Every structure is written in structure tokens, then in C-alpha cells.
Copies of this chain bind each other. A is one copy, B any other.
Amino acid sequence: MEESKSEGAAMAETGLTHECGVFGCVAAGEWPTRMDVAQVVCLGLIALQHRGQESAGIVTSEGTGKQNFNVHKGMGLISNIFNNDAMERLRGNLGIGHTRYSTAAASEVINCQPFVVHTAYGPLSLAHNGELVNARALRQQVHSRGVGLSTHSDSELITQTLCLDPPGGEGERPDWPGRIRHLMALTPLAYSLVIMDNDRIYGVRDPYGNRPLCLGKVLPEGADAASCQDVDVEAWVISSESCSFQSIGARFVREVLPGEIVELSRDGVSTLGVVDRPAGRPPAFCIFEFVYFSRPDSIYEGQTVYSVRKESGRMLWRESPVEADIVSSVPESGTAAAHGFARESGLPFTEVLCKNRYVGRTFIQPNTRLRKLGVAMKFGALSEEVAGKRIVLIDDSIVRGNTISPIIRLLRDAGAREVHIRVASPPLKHPCYMGINIPTKQELVANRLDSAQLAAHVGADSLEYLSVKGLVQAVRHGAKTKEENSGYCTACLTGDYPVRLDW
């Protein structure tokens, strides 16, 4: 067990990298309960594993005022980090967990979340999904109070900011909700937080609602959800995505509102207030949660992510139809949109590529000839489906544009007559400062080539993106929220950031 860091971190080399997932659980009723909180958190995190595969951690509290937490963190996949030994040590009636994305650098145990800090009032633990747009200014502010920071992480920055008295603040026991409000005044986005005190968890979503956060409840086995009273609830859970509720047998309750602070305790869930945005500013929920990040079965605004993706495929056909024989997708990223495209166009959907699930991170460096094969190691063409066909291939997004070209070659080698690319999202052109790892402007192919040029570059017969308007329409199409209460961050597509970035 060792770790090394060069603090000036290198960027990840892949496309978009997911960010993080947070999860929390408080057993309801009298403590100690028979509910195994650490297991619930662990299984909840496994359902959020697509949001980050670098490291994970769980912190539990017995909630008895005993001044310590139980902590287990590690590098790698959750299923490798948590074994029975760890689970047994993670006793507690409440707990929070975190799973973190993977970048080449800064992969160290010290940066694993949840972050634990010891304060005058006992331990506090925090897990964060997002990125503070004004982290630099906030760090200076903390430093100027004479406080050192042992990591570069926003989590430590947030906890130290919470510890430092808000101007004018004093007193015996800390007013954590007040301090959270103070923090929210200092930094507008982006954050979904779960914060654990001795005996309660605070869930916080930034005023713009940039990152998702939702509430669920665990009912007794065999309970009928409809008739069930809250008195029967076994545990309250809070999670980045609702997909994790299915996997622990919990029911989805609702999304946490933009700017809302909720408190989960053994007595239930209550709202401690909602922090407003500046007048006239709409919410700015990351639209790429629909396009790419979230699991298809997660629910936002009353609809599954899957149905939005399918709708974006329908919209894509309407905007950019093409004469073809079959519709297909790059597995598994564009399949939902491809089904929508097929349904709307009437063209048959057919699988054309077979994916090798075992091509992982290989430690060998193939020679040039073999390296060129690249994608062929990952996919095999289903020759009989492809031979002689005009194919529309749907992808969810194009970042660097270097994976689509060998796929097209593979299909042409297998006898495809035409290959038309349709991308179920608009061109990616701008960096994200709110938690998504997007390559530099230079590396984003859409800043160098328009769609016609890109088609020529990758060897496609045609290539079209979905428009921003079309994407928003696809999102709104099935949304159960009123239009005036929702809004999306499309900064990476439009350059229109939710707040000014001149900190």
C-alpha cells in the first residue's frame, strides 16, 4: 500500500470522464437498528459505479455521540475495496459513501472521499459531486485565515470553510445548517453534497441544481409502497441517481430541489430551506447527465434517462433524415437513440458490432501495426448483418473523433455499402468547469472540423449532429416538471455558462 503524486496533475487521456457519485443512508427509528447501513451504502455505491471507478469510500457513525467515525477507503472498484472485514468494522446507524472518477494523476488514497475532519464539535464527514467554480478564490480566503490545506480537493476546502466561523458566528454547538447556507452564499456551483454529523446527514444541492441528487426510502419487505406510511420506513436514503434505489430495494421519493438543504435523521426527512438563485436565473442542470453520464434507468424530471435518449434519436431523424437500409449503434453508448431513430424513421434496427467485454486496460504496448488495430480489438463486425447494407450508425456524442474512424473502416471491410453517422447530441466545443473532465478546446474535434469535414475525415458518407434546440426539446418532451421551473446547463455546447467565471 503506497502512493505517489506529482502534484501538477496530468489530464486524463480518454474522452469525457464521469465525475463522482454520492450516497447516504440513515436508519429510521430506534437505534441500534438491525438495518445494515454500511451494506446499503455499499450496494448503493455499486449502482453508482459508472460515475467513477478510481476509488471509493464509506464513513459510518453510530450516532451515539461517541466521538469517532468508522472509515474505509481504497483505490479501485467498489467490489474489490469492500470485503466482509471492512463491512464488519463499518458499524453504524448512518453512513455516507462516495465513488470517484479515474484520472491518470492524483490517484491517491489521500484524495479518496468521503473526507473526514475533526472539529471542535466532533468529527464531520463530507462527500462531494461537482467542482467549485470559484475554488481558487475560496482557497485563498481559507489560506488568508491562516489555515493550511493538506489536499487540492474541493471536499477539504468545503469542510474547512464550514469549520471556519461565518462572520459574526459564535456559540457552543455549531449551527451546521447556518454554516451550509453561508457556504452556499460563498460559492454558487457546482455541488451535490452529503454531509454527516454525529447523528444526521445533510443533503445539499447547489442553487443551480447542476448536479443531480435525489431522495428515497427503504420500506419493510413486502410493504405496499402506495399504502405505506412513513412511520414504517426502515431507512432514508439519498443518492446522486435513482438507479441506486432499485438495487437496494428502495423507493424513489423525489429529487432534491436546486438550492435545497435536506436533513435526514432517524426521525425522517425535512427541508431546512431552499437557497435562491439571483433573480431571473433559471436552474442549470447538466444536460450531459441525460446524454451520457447517468444510467438509463435513472429518473430526472419524472422521466427515465433512457426515454430522453430514445426521444433524442427520434429528433435526430426529424432533423437529419437519410436514405438507408438499417439503423445501428456503437454498443452500448448509442443504442437507446438508435432505437428512437429506427422507430421514427421506420428503418429496421440491427446490431452490426460485437463488443469484447474483456478488452480492458492492457499493460502491454503493442507495436505500431497492432496499435493501429485499436478499436478492432474492442469490436468485431457482424459481417452478415453488414454486407451490402447502407447503415446509419448512431453515436451518443463525439469528443475527439478518433474512435469512429476505425469503426467505419471495420464496417466497410465487412462489406457495408454506405455508413452514415448521426450523433445524438450537438458538437462539444467548450470546457466544463463544473465537474466534468472535458479535453482542451484544441482536442475537441468540433472546434477544428465542421460536420462535413468530419465526415470526410472519418470516412463516413455523411455525418450530422443533433441541434442544441433539438436536444432540449428531447429533454423537455417527457418532462413532468413545468418549463419555468427547469433549465439546463449547455455550456459545453454553447459556451453559455450559468455564472460569470471571472473569479
Contact = CB atoms under 8 A, between A and B. Distances in A.
Interface of A: 1-8, 36, 39-40, 42-43, 46-47, 49-50, 53, 68-87, 89, 108-110, 115-120, 123-124, 139-140, 143-152, 156, 159-160, 163-165, 221, 243, 246-249, 295-297, 299, 303-304, 306-307, 335-336, 339, 343, 348-351, 354, 356-367, 369-370, 372-373, 376-377, 380-385, 410, 478
Contact of A370 (B40, B68, B69): B40
B4 A118 contact: no
10 contacts: A1-B74, A2-B73, A6-B68, A36-B367, A46-B358, A47-B380, A118-B139, A118-B149, A247-B377, A336-B351
Contact of A109 (B1, B8, B76, B361): B1
A15 to B, nearest CB: 17
Contacts of A87: 364
A68 B439 CA distance: 23
A352 to B, nearest CB: 10
A87 to B, nearest CB: 5
Contacts of A146: 120, 145, 147, 163-165
Given A36-B366, A117-B148, A384-B478, 20 more contacts: A2-B86, A43-B366, A50-B358, A53-B358, A82-B362, A110-B110, A115-B150, A118-B150, A120-B140, A145-B146, A246-B380, A246-B410, A247-B356, A249-B370, A249-B372, A296-B351, A296-B382, A306-B384, A339-B349, A339-B351
A433 B462 CA distance: 52
A384 B304 contact: yes
Contacts of A376: 246-247, 249
A367 B249 CA distance: 13
Contacts of A369: 221, 249
A501 B486 CA distance: 62
Contacts of A4: 71-73, 85-86, 89
A31 B336 CA distance: 51
A306 B356 contact: no
Nearest to A78: B358
Given A297-B382, A384-B307, A109 B2 contact: yes
A81 to B, nearest CB: 5
